[in-house]
Amino acid sequence: MSRPDVIVVGAGVIGLSAAIAAQSRGLSVTVLDREGPAAGASAGNAGAFAFTDILPLASPGLLKKAPKWLLDPLGPLSIPPRYALQIAPWMFRFWRACAPARVDGAIAAQTALMDLSRQALEPFLSETGTLSMLRKDGSLEVYESEAEFTASLPGWHARERHGITFRHMHAAEMAEIQPGLSPRFIRGTFMPGWLSIADPKLYVLALADRFTAEGGRIEVAEVRTLKPAADGVDLTLAGGHNRHVGQVVLAAGAFSHRIARSLGEIIPLETERGYNTTLPGDAFDLRTAVVFGGHGFVVTPLSTGVRVGGAVELGGLDLPPNFARSEAMLRKAKTFLPSLKAEGGRQWMGFRPSLPDSLPAIGRARSTDRVIYAFGHGHVGLTQSAGTAQIVADLLCKARPAIDIAPFSPQRFR
């Protein structure tokens, strides 16, 4: 077996997209993953290309809501008590990232990556034979009071400044777009530009098939360490096996920081543990994604069912799942969509890799320019996958990326 030009660590949507982009530049690529394609957060996300989500989780608005949310162990934002001490340094960085000047910088950087990703998306889907999986059904965010709606307006003004299209509306207009909402929702905002994929797991598996059909290799192997070498990078795998390659892309999602530590880099990556329940397709006549922002979750239509999920549990990689969170969201969804059939669902929990300022880490390792990081996209990994893949391919080929990647520097937290 000949040695590839590049090893990509991670077979989620970021890793496989980057592998395909590198392959399209003429590089031979092998992908290594501890479980195989679409086994992590790429399998169970909401399926949205949320290009309008330019506002960072770290923001003054969240700081106002956080105390109330944190008091509810099943609420939109929670930290398990036994994890509170461990996450304290990350929370301090998160608090610092909420400063208005930093938020403005994060919005500008996020917008640039969102714009690039949107421009790259449909050509990438066409290239990989997955364009038929793209949906253009929009998204409706709903509010229970005028006060809640008014509180959302600064965020919409920020989106408007960056050219994002939306329309505010009252209940009657909302009902035309999505019948069956509870009358408790009196205001809403519709985003016609919101795109989604038919099913995120099937999409990533399709990318894996495309990659291997073009000569790429995918191997189930757990990478433990990376070490710079004179002409490349040495990889140590679980079981004591070793590999050597010219360049490495580290896109292992929530596990990436553990591998980066072997290169001497401490990157403050945490885990937004996401929960959802996927109901049968006839559970509700869902015509668009419905975002319940005040409750931290979304209901999305997929080709494989109706998915109810979201919220943020900052609980790391090792605590057992708390599926009471999925059940709490499902109960709320039943209240908010009274005709929803809430039986027969499949529960899921996945790790969404998150950095304190809500921006990913994209760039070269400090100790070697032969390792490129591409992780930490939080809940917008699918959204930013095509743009990130283009940047990674540029870096592998020593080309200048289309956007300034300095805000995404993996070393920005030093």
pLDDT at position 58: 75
Q: Count of CB atoms within 10 A of residue 218's CB? A: 21
Q: Where are the domains of the chain?
A: 59-98+136-193+269-354
Residue 109, CB half-sphere, CA atoms under 13 Å: how many?
21
**Series of mean pLDDT values for 10-residue runs along the chain (414 residues):** 92 98 98 94 90 84 69 79 92 90 93 96 98 96 96 92 93 97 98 94 98 98 96 94 96 97 96 94 97 93 95 89 93 97 95 95 98 96 97 98 98 93
- Determine if the pTM surpasses 0.85: yes
Q: What backbone torsions phi and psi does residue 145 show, to the nearest 5 degrees?
A: -155, 160
pLDDT at position 71: 61
Alpha helices in 235-323 (DSSP H): 256-260
Question: Three-class SS of residue 309?
Answer: strand
pLDDT at position 56: 87
pLDDT at position 1: 61
Enclosing H/E stretch for 113:
helix 100-127
Among 138, 133, 113, 111, smallest CA distance to 122 is for 133
Q: In sequence order, which residues have a C-beta less than 8 Å from that of residue 331 and are 6 or more positions away?
A: 342
pLDDT at position 63: 63
CATH class belonging to 59-98+136-193+269-354: alpha beta
